[in-house]
């Protein structure tokens, strides 16, 4: 069995961390660990760290997965990993885990009024379902987390109520987790339903958080026919951009001479690098707005400028700064 992973330690949060604290910690750590932020020679190492970080967030940001993870615990998992079984001497907390802990948890969870809520995910940035560790798979197995590139698969059932009131409605809600880039682009994506059926879902470009997409007749069967499947969009936190409605926020570092003299820099957007003019006399923390470059065409990109000073200076640069100090 795989070695136990402390997801709280990986994210750098306590076990009582709130959802907001977990989300903030992930965004902070993602910026530091993203492979693109490091030299080519170190990318392999940081790719593994980023995978662990992504896996930790996948579990701790999902209420059901976090509950299961907490219930299993380190002691329970290690006992389960050793193959102790129900008859071995171990704590009462871990005694339930003679098989897959997720399956045991299902026995007590129950389903709400015959309704079902499913969890779908997409992947991007070079990571997919295969990037989840053996530890993740040993606990969550069929619950899944991320699908393949350009499609959706590997999902599990969450305990919840049906989309419409009443046990006979047949309507089903599904949370569809998208990367920011996928939500921005939209387009046709393949989705594998719990019954194994493959369907094509057309996502509008710039689809926002909480948006519902209705798939008629794709819900649970009822005496009156199949109910409908409602996909509820959830957008994952991004290592570089912060999303607020249709607007995107991105921090950008500029050099002191660019701030003083003005100039042109390249700024990241979801459509690729964009040239932006920096006005002379720019102060630290200044915000620039680029319309139409948000999640959708209705949104804007807000650039927060941070003036940085080089950690190392050449002799010529030091002399120039000394002259500037002398005449200021």
Confidence of residue 169 (pLDDT cuts 50, 70, 90): low
Question: Do residue 223 and residue 246 come from a single domain?
Answer: no
Range scoring the smallest mean pLDDT among 66-75, 182-191, 269-278: 66-75
Residue 41 in domain? no
Question: Do residue 252 and residue 227 come from a single domain?
Answer: no
Q: How many CA atoms lie within 13 A of 277 on its CB side?
A: 2
Confidence of residue 211 (pLDDT cuts 50, 70, 90): very high
Which of 171, 169, 165, 132 is closest to 148 using CA atoms? 132
User: Of 209, 236, 263, which one is at a domain's C-terminal end?
Assistant: 236
Question: Do residue 142 and residue 180 come from a single domain?
Answer: yes
Q: 192 or 117: which carries more pLDDT confidence?
A: 192
Q: How many CA atoms lie within 13 A of 230 on its CB side?
A: 17
CA-derived radius of gyration, the chain: 24
What is the tens place of the pLDDT at every residue in 234-278? 888 888 899 999 999 999 999 999 999 999 999 999 998 999 999
What is the tens place of the pLDDT at every residue in 111-148? 222 333 444 544 333 333 445 787 887 776 544 443 33
pLDDT over 80 at 297, yes or no = yes
Predicted local confidence at residue 65, as pLDDT: 82
- Taking the whole predicted model, whether its pTM rises above 0.85 is answered as no
Residue 247 in domain? yes
pLDDT over 50 at 319, yes or no = yes
Predicted local confidence at residue 166, as pLDDT: 37
Question: Do residue 284 and residue 227 come from a single domain?
Answer: no
**Two tokens at 208?**
């926002």
Predicted local confidence at residue 311, as pLDDT: 79
Mean pLDDT of 12-28: 91
Question: Do residue 210 and residue 320 come from a single domain?
Answer: no
Question: Do residue 232 and residue 114 come from a single domain?
Answer: yes
Residue 189 in domain? yes
Which of 272, 308, 276, 238 is closest to 27 using CA atoms? 238
Residue 105 in domain? no
HEC secondary structure over the chain: CCCCCCHHHHHCCCCCCCHHHHHHHHHHHHHHHCHHHCCHHHHHHHHHHHHHHHHHHHHHCCHHHHHHHHHHHHHHHHHHHCCCCCCCCCCCCCCCCCCCHHHHHHHHHCCCCCCCEEEEECECCCCCHHHCCHHHHHHHHHHCCCCCECEECCCEEECCCCCCCCCCCCCEEEEEEECHHHHHHCEEEEEECCCCCEEEEEECCCCCCCCEEEECCCCCEECCEECCEEEEEEECCCCCCEEECCEEEEEEEECHHHHHHCEEEEECCCCCCEEEEECCCCCCCCEEEEECCCCCCCCEEEEEEEECCCCCCCHHHHHHHHHHHHHC
pLDDT over 60 at 68, yes or no = yes
Question: Do residue 118 and residue 218 come from a single domain?
Answer: yes
Confidence of residue 299 (pLDDT cuts 50, 70, 90): very high
For 80: left if phi > 0, alpha if psi spans -120 to 50, otherwise beta; the answer is alpha
CATH number for the domain harbouring residue 197: 2.60.260.20
Residue 1 in domain? no
What is the tens place of the pLDDT at every residue in 29-62? 888 887 777 788 888 888 888 888 888 988 898 8
User: Of 176, 205, 236, which one is at a domain's C-terminal end?
Assistant: 236
Question: Do residue 215 and residue 275 come from a single domain?
Answer: no
Question: Do residue 280 and residue 227 come from a single domain?
Answer: no
**Count of structural domains, the chain:** 2
Predicted local confidence at residue 250, as pLDDT: 93
Residue 124 in domain? yes
Predicted local confidence at residue 100, as pLDDT: 44
User: Of 221, 236, 251, which one is at a domain's C-terminal end?
Assistant: 236
Confidence of residue 81 (pLDDT cuts 50, 70, 90): low
Strand duo 198-203 + 187-192: pairing: antiparallel
Question: Do residue 251 and residue 212 come from a single domain?
Answer: no
Residue 114 in domain? yes
How much is the mean pLDDT over the chain? 75
Question: Do residue 222 and residue 294 come from a single domain?
Answer: no
Give the structural domain span for 192.
110-236
């Amino acid at each position: 069995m795989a070695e136990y992973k402390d997801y709280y330690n990986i994210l750098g949060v306590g076990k009582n961390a709130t959802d907001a604290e977990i989300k903030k910690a992930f965004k902070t750590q993602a910026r530091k660990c993203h492979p693109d932020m490091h030299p080519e020679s170190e990318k392999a190492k940081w790719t593994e760290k980023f995978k662990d970080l992504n896996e930790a967030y996948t579990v701790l940001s999902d209420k059901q997965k976090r509950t299961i993870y907490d219930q299993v615990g380190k002691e329970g998992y290690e006992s389960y990993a050793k193959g102790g079984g129900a008859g071995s001497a171990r704590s009462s907390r871990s005694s339930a885990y003679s098989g897959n802990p997720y399956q045991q948890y299902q026995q007590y969870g129950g389903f709400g009024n015959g309704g079902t809520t499913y969890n779908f995910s997409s992947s991007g940035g070079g990571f997919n379902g295969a990037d989840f560790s053996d530890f993740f798979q040993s606990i969550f197995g069929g619950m899944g987390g991320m699908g393949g590139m350009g499609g959706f698969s590997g999902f599990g059932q969450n305990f919840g109520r049906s989309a419409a009131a009443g046990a006979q409605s047949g309507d089903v809600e599904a949370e569809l987790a998208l990367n920011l880039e996928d939500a921005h682009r939209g387009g046709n994506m393949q989705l594998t339903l719990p019954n194994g059926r493959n369907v094509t879902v057309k996502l509008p470009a710039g689809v926002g958080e909480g948006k519902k997409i209705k798939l008629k007749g794709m819900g649970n069967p009822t005496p009156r026919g199949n109910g409908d499947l409602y996909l509820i969009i959830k957008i994952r936190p991004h290592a570089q951009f912060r999303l607020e409605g249709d607007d995107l926020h991105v921090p950008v570092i500029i050099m002191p001479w660019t701030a003083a003299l003005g100039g042109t820099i390249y700024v990241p957007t979801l459509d690729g690098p964009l040239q932006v003019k920096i006005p002379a006399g720019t102060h630290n923390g200044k915000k620039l707005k680029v319309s139409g470059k948000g999640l959708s065409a209705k949104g804007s990109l807000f650039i927060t400028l941070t003036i940085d000073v080089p950690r190392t200076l050449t002799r010529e640069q030091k002399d120039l700064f000394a002259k500037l100090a002398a005449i200021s």
